[in-house]
Structure 1
Amino acid sequence: MKNTIQLLLLALILTGCNAEQETDERVTAVSETETEAAPMAEDPANYQDINSDEALVETALLAAPEASRAGAKVIGYNMAGEFVTLREGTNEFVCLADDPKQDGFNAACYHKDLEPFMARGRELKAEGKSAQDIFAMREDEVKSNKLSMGKAGSTLHIYYGPEARYNPETGKVAGAQYRYVVYMPYATAESTGLPESPIAPNHPWIMDPGTHRAHIMISPLAGEE
């Protein structure tokens, strides 16, 4: 039993690291193979491919808090492969649509104050920089106040799953689930009281402590929000 719990925790840590880091650096080009996604409760026949700009917008908005979806801005790659503004917004959220050229599904939504940080990640990735280079360069730029991450506590919401298929009637994506990130630059376990790894599935923990990218990870269990 103890070994089973340890294996579950390890899977959660690896899944959390992969999806959040990919999202942060694509918020540039997301989608890594995940462990388990929530089972589909609906008839699979109700789902269809996400194959239009309208569907990209609709499914991207699912990453935002429900009360904020109507006013959220949506950016990302359109079906023609161009990175564009898919929909203008009026509130504090920027949503990143799923990339049609990537396997699986991964949309994200973050506070607009994080946009300079996210845009810089997209820029560096487009230049061919590695994940390690992007981390180091943004670390230096945040420390020197050249790059802003907004106020501590800015959030990133991730909605991801193994299939880029959705139900047009409900808007839900097949097998998708949520993850939440709260950025706390330079926070540590000591300054927050949070552990550096989850003590049980879906418990909050702090990742990348002591760096510009320190953040609280919250991963609800499959099927929960």
Structure 2
Amino acid sequence: MKHIIIAFIFTGILMSCNSSDKKNTTTENSSEMETTEKRTSNDSIRELKSIVTDADLIATALLSAPEESRSESKVIGYNMKGEFVTLKEGNNEFIILADDPNKSGFSAACYHKDLEPFMARGRALKAEGKTPQDIFEIREEEMKSGALKITTGATLHIYYGSKTAFDPETFKVDGAKLRYVVYMPFATSESTGLPEAPAASNHPWIMNPGTHRAHIMISPLPEEK
């Protein structure tokens, strides 16, 4: 009888130990999972940086160009001192206009080098104090007279957004997205078959039809976060 009682007591002690071990193991596992989740969450939140140097201007502007062309693209624009300069030399078909650090929001544009005379003319007229409508009318007349030219099919890529903070590892500007323009001087809806308003946010359409600034607009859907 004494042996049976001792056996029962021993069994009870073993069960109690097992139960305690399971609780400890569960608590440890839960704690490890919590730590891992916190670490993963912290790793995914990368601190953004403000544009404060010319190098920042160049790095963020380059994202407006196709990835394979960035290293050889020329970058121009206002530096942090407010001077319009060549920020980076290049030797391919693209010229990139960096974001103006003195304006709110972010906007960088990459365009085919054949568009530079047209773009430079616009900048010069603006510097003279001409209004956007004045610039439009002057370049319209110069295009019609042949004094100014736009190569049909030349492209413009615009990387833009309401914020200027960027990821220092990828150089992506927070919330910025791309919009594409294909210049088709004096083209119309009838000559291209494109509507004058987008059927959806990522569908092409023609803007300024029938004028020197007629162009196909394409606004891709924003990336999912």
Aligned to 1:163: 163
Matches within 5 A, 1:46-61: 46-61=47-62
Query: Which structure has the bigger radius of gyration?
Result: 2
- Relative contact order higher in (CA < 8 Å, ≥ 6 apart): 1
SS in 1 for 2:103: coil
SS in 1 for 2:180: strand
Deviation sequence 1:110-149 (CA, Å, 0-9, x none): 0000000000111111111111110000000011111122
Alpha-carbon distance in structure 1 between the residues aligned to 2:165 and 2:143 = 37
Counterpart amino acid of residue 81 in structure 2: A
SS in 1 for 2:82: coil
SS in 2 for 1:86: strand
Alpha-carbon distance in structure 1 between the residues aligned to 2:44 and 2:125 = 41
Cα deviation, residue 44, structure 1 = 6.2
Cα deviation, residue 179, structure 1 = 0.2
Alpha-carbon distance in structure 1 between the residues aligned to 2:60 and 2:44 = 18
Aligned to 1:93: 94
Counterpart amino acid of residue 51 in structure 2: I
The alignment status of 1:207 with 2:207, answered yes or no, reads yes
The alignment status of 1:147 with 2:148, answered yes or no, reads yes
Write out the 4+ residue segments of structure 1 that deviate beyond 4 Å after TM superposition.
42-45
Alpha-carbon distance in structure 2 between the residues aligned to 1:141 and 1:48 = 43
Alpha-carbon distance in structure 2 between the residues aligned to 1:163 and 1:44 = 17
Alpha-carbon distance in structure 2 between the residues aligned to 1:163 and 1:208 = 28
Matches within 5 A, 1:33-182: 45-149=46-150, 151-182=151-182
Cα deviation, residue 43, structure 1 = 5.8
Alpha-carbon distance in structure 2 between the residues aligned to 1:43 and 1:206 = 40
Larger proportion of helix: 2
Aligned residues: 182
Matches within 5 A, 1:3-42: none
- Structure 2: runs of 5 or more not aligned: 1-42
- Structure 1: runs of 5 or more not aligned: 1-41
Alpha-carbon distance in structure 2 between the residues aligned to 1:76 and 1:158 = 14
Cα deviation, residue 221, structure 1 = 1.6
Cα deviation, residue 74, structure 1 = 0.1
Alpha-carbon distance in structure 2 between the residues aligned to 1:200 and 1:88 = 38
Cα deviation, residue 101, structure 1 = 0.2
Aligned to 2:17: none
SS in 2 for 1:203: coil
Aligned to 2:194: 194
Alpha-carbon distance in structure 1 between the residues aligned to 2:179 and 2:161 = 11
Counterpart amino acid of residue 217 in structure 1: M
Deviation sequence 1:53-96 (CA, Å, 0-9, x none): 00100111100011111110000000000000001101000000
**RMSD across aligned C-alpha pairs, in angstroms?**
1.3
Alpha-carbon distance in structure 2 between the residues aligned to 1:118 and 1:201 = 27
Alpha-carbon distance in structure 2 between the residues aligned to 1:75 and 1:219 = 24
Deviation sequence 1:17-37 (CA, Å, 0-9, x none): xxxxxxxxxxxxxxxxxxxxx
